[in-house]
Structure 1
Amino acid sequence: MHSYTTWLTLSELIERTGLSHNQVRRLIEDDVLPAVKDGSELRVPGAFLDGDSPRNDVRGTVTLLLDIGFSRAEAIDWMLTAEDSLGTSPIEALQQGRKAEVRRVAQALA
């Protein structure tokens, strides 16, 4: 797991978003908030939230990565790792409003 980002547990996500347990689980299952297992607990990068809400640009990017053969863990790792062609990590580029550029770079990985 990347240490530069905060990793949120299911309980922390419920508290932060104000959503029910079932709603948060659905967001995880639908890759709106992609998660990885840490021991027996699911964790989601805090960077995948915009304030207290899921970022609306994460799901499409992660879906693209899954479609080209990445595992969920690999997709999350790619989103959080500095990408030379972007000059920053993909999640930081998304936060800067560079969704089309991030998706072009992700597509080129196929």
Structure 2
Amino acid sequence: MDTPAELDALVPDWLAVPDVAEALGVDVVKVRSLLRERQLLSTRRGERNVVSVPADFVVDGAIVKGLPGLITLLSDSGYDDEAALRWMFTPDDSLPGTPVQALRENRGTEVKRRAQALAF
């Protein structure tokens, strides 16, 4: 199944698993492990159904601080991977920006507070 156009429109850049491995300085097996452990989220994209991770999840050779915890919060609130990605990349004027931008700018507390509120 291809990624919906809406998700592609929200996420500016994607990385294939080998590119994530290079960005993190690890091997492909480690990236697949991070995906299984839900430290990162991915979706399949394009004609070849390539496993892809949003490029914004990696900064300065590391996973964005707070991302694994946010993934857990959204999952606990009933969000599947696609819905979680959509939520993380949808602009929120009250943040401002997107939840992922806020995480990248070290404003994770407010993002997590909003994610927790989704469960109620």
| Residues 1-110 of structure 1: pairs in structure 2 closer than 5 A | 1-2=8-9, 5-39=12-46, 40-110=49-119
Quote the offset at 1:96 in angstroms.
1.8
Residues in 2 aligned to 1:43 and 1:32: alpha-carbon distance in whole angstroms: 14
Question: How many percent identity over aligned positions?
Answer: 34
When the two structures are aligned, how many residues end up with a matched partner?
Answer: 110
- The RMSD of aligned alpha carbons is 1.5
Quote the offset at 1:85 in angstroms.
2.9
Gaps of 5+ in 2: 1-7
SS in 1 for 2:102: helix
Gaps of 5+ in 1: none
Q: Which amino acid aligns with 1:21?
A: V
Residues in 1 aligned to 2:70 and 2:104: alpha-carbon distance in whole angstroms: 13
Quote the offset at 1:3 in angstroms.
5.3
* TM-score when normalising by structure 2: 0.83
8 Å contact kept, 1:62–1:76:
no
Could you list the structure 1 runs, at least 4 aligned residues long, displaced by more than 4 angstroms after superposition: none
